């Protein structure tokens, strides 16, 4: 393609946006609506996952040792636990640290009656999991380790979090499937409008001797620009909405925000921006290719 043909094609693509104002607006609105739903859903799901992940990270298994177990064996057990793939972190809490923590939490300055450490045998490992669904497998393993006296865990929390995780996965798949079906329906309708708008124009071009590439290029550029704008609008709206909602939650429900931690807007948009723009441009590209192809065989 010669350079002036390239610029001509580019210019025509941009001009097409304004030539068919209603078609352009309808297409942008369709893509925006689909990507708005997608973005909104993504932000909600990501926050859910973040909250669940935080909760999971707080779930620990406590490992207590046999009386008088040597420090070297305790050290060895710690290294063995850390090698397990489901384990993310292992913290050692000595008997003294356990007593200090207990005093601070429950006695509040009334510990004078204690002359010895009542938690003498309470040196322990706090084992944190990267995948809470593996908790019972880990506990079975730990109970079989020589030198381990007792393993404490909260089964209810682990089961609940595993259930929530699975639920989020199912709901995500379900909503993505619905969104996809709605998008295909809306976009195919828009493409049908595009076909009737374009038919005569494409026929004329073909009769004059335009190649498929020459006919297609301005429409493809137009489609990609529609996709780009159609993606940028919901991104802008979601960005603003997200900030407003986060500010509202932090100020009005400070209790809630201290319990649950939400993702920062940047963390959401680092992924959402390229994905949405990619989907928008992709839809525009494919939509225009399909629309034009139907009429190229003239």
Partner 1 sequence: MAVKRKKRSTAAENEIITLTNVCKAYSTGAPALKDVNLHINRGEFVFIVGDSGSGKSTLIKLLLRELTITSGYINVMGYDLSKIRHRKIPKFRRNLGVVFQDFRLLKDRNVYENVAFAQRIIQKSNKEIKKNVPSILAIVGLAGKYKAKPKQLSGGEQQRVALARALVNKPTVLLADEPTGNLDPKNSWEIMKLLEQINENGTTVIVVTHNREIVNAMQKRVVTLKRGVIISDEEKGGYIDED
CB of 198 to partner 1, least distance (A): 12
Beta carbon nearer to partner 1, 19 or 264: 19
Contact range with partner 1 by CB under 8 A, out of 35-43, 103-111, 162-170, 197-205: 197-205
Beta carbon nearer to partner 1, 22 or 207: 207
DSSP string, 23-88: HHHHHHHHHHHHHHHHHHHHHHHHHHHHHHHHHHHH-EEEEEE-TT--HHHHHHHHHHHHTSTTEE
Q: Is residue 196 involved in binding partner 1 (CB under 8 A)?
A: no
What count of residues does the chain have?
298
Q: Is residue 83 involved in binding partner 1 (CB under 8 A)?
A: no
Map the footprint of partner 1 across residues 278-297, applying CB under 8 A. Answer: 297
Cβ contacts of 129-133, under 8 Å, gap ≥ 24: 129/56, 129/59, 129/60, 129/61, 129/86, 129/87, 129/88, 130/85, 130/86, 130/87, 130/88, 131/56, 131/86, 132/56, 132/59, 132/157, 132/158, 132/161, 132/162, 132/165, 133/158, 133/162, 133/165
Is residue 273 a contact partner of residue 234, using CB atoms and an 8 Å limit? Answer: no
Q: Is residue 11 involved in binding partner 1 (CB under 8 A)?
A: no
Beta carbon nearer to partner 1, 86 or 201: 201
Count CB neighbours of 42 within 10 A: 20
SS3 92: strand
SS3 201: helix
Q: In sequence order, what are the beta bridge partners of 60? A: 128
Total residues interacting with partner 1, rule: CB under 8 A: 21
Q: Is residue 214 involved in binding partner 1 (CB under 8 A)?
A: yes
Which residues have C-beta within 8 Å of that of residue 243, sequence separation ≥ 6? 265
CB of 2 to partner 1, least distance (A): 5
Beta carbon nearer to partner 1, 15 or 149: 15
Task: Tell me which of 103, 206, 293, 295 binds partner 1, using CB under 8 A.
Answer: 206
Q: Is residue 92 involved in binding partner 1 (CB under 8 A)?
A: no
Q: Is residue 212 involved in binding partner 1 (CB under 8 A)?
A: yes
Q: Is residue 4 involved in binding partner 1 (CB under 8 A)?
A: yes
Is residue 123 a contact partner of residue 65, using CB atoms and an 8 Å limit? Answer: yes
Beta carbon nearer to partner 1, 2 or 83: 2
Task: Tell me which of 2, 22, 110, 116 binds partner 1, using CB under 8 A.
Answer: 2
Which residues have C-beta within 8 Å of that of residue 10, sequence separation ≥ 6? 221
Task: Tell me which of 63, 74, 151, 205 binds partner 1, using CB under 8 A.
Answer: 205
CB of 296 to partner 1, least distance (A): 9
Map the footprint of partner 1 across residues 143-172, applying CB under 8 A. Answer: none
Task: Tell me which of 19, 89, 149, 294 binds partner 1, using CB under 8 A.
Answer: 19
Binding-site ranges for partner 1 (CB under 8 A):
1-2, 4-5, 8, 19, 200-201, 203-212, 214, 297-298
């Amino acid at each position: 393609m010669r350079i002036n043909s390239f610029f001509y094609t580019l210019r025509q693509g941009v001009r097409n946006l304004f030539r068919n104002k209603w078609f352009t607006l309808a297409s942008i609105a369709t893509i925006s609506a689909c990507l708005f739903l997608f973005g909104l859903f993504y932000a909600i799901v990501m926050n859910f996952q973040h909250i669940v992940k935080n909760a999971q990270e707080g779930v620990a298994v406590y490992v207590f040792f046999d009386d008088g177990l040597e420090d070297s064996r305790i050290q060895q057990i710690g290294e063995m636990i850390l090698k397990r793939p489901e384990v993310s972190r292992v913290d050692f809490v000595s008997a003294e640290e356990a007593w200090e923590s207990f005093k601070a939490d429950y006695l509040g300055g009334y510990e004078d009656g204690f002359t010895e450490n009542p938690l003498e045998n309470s040196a322990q490992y706090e084992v944190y999991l990267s995948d809470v669904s593996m908790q019972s497998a880990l506990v079975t393993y730990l109970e079989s380790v020589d030198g381990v006296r007792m393993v404490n865990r909260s089964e209810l929390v682990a089961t609940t979090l595993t259930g929530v995780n699975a639920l989020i996965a199912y709901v995500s798949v379900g909503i993505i499937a619905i969104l996809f079906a709605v998008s295909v329906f809306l976009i195919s309708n828009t493409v049908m409008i595009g076909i009737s708008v374009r038919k005569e124009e494409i026929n004329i071009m073909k009769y004059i001797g335009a190649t498929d590439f020459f006919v297609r290029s301005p429409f493809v550029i137009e489609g990609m620009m529609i996709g780009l704008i159609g993606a940028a609008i919901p991104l802008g709206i979601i960005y603003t909405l997200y900030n407003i909602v986060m500010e509202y939650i932090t100020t009005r429900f400070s209790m809630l925000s201290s319990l649950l931690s939400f993702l920062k807007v940047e963390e959401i948009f680092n992924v959402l921006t390229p994905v949405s723009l990619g989907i928008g441009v992709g839809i525009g590209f494919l939509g225009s290719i399909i629309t034009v192809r139907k009429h190229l065989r003239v």
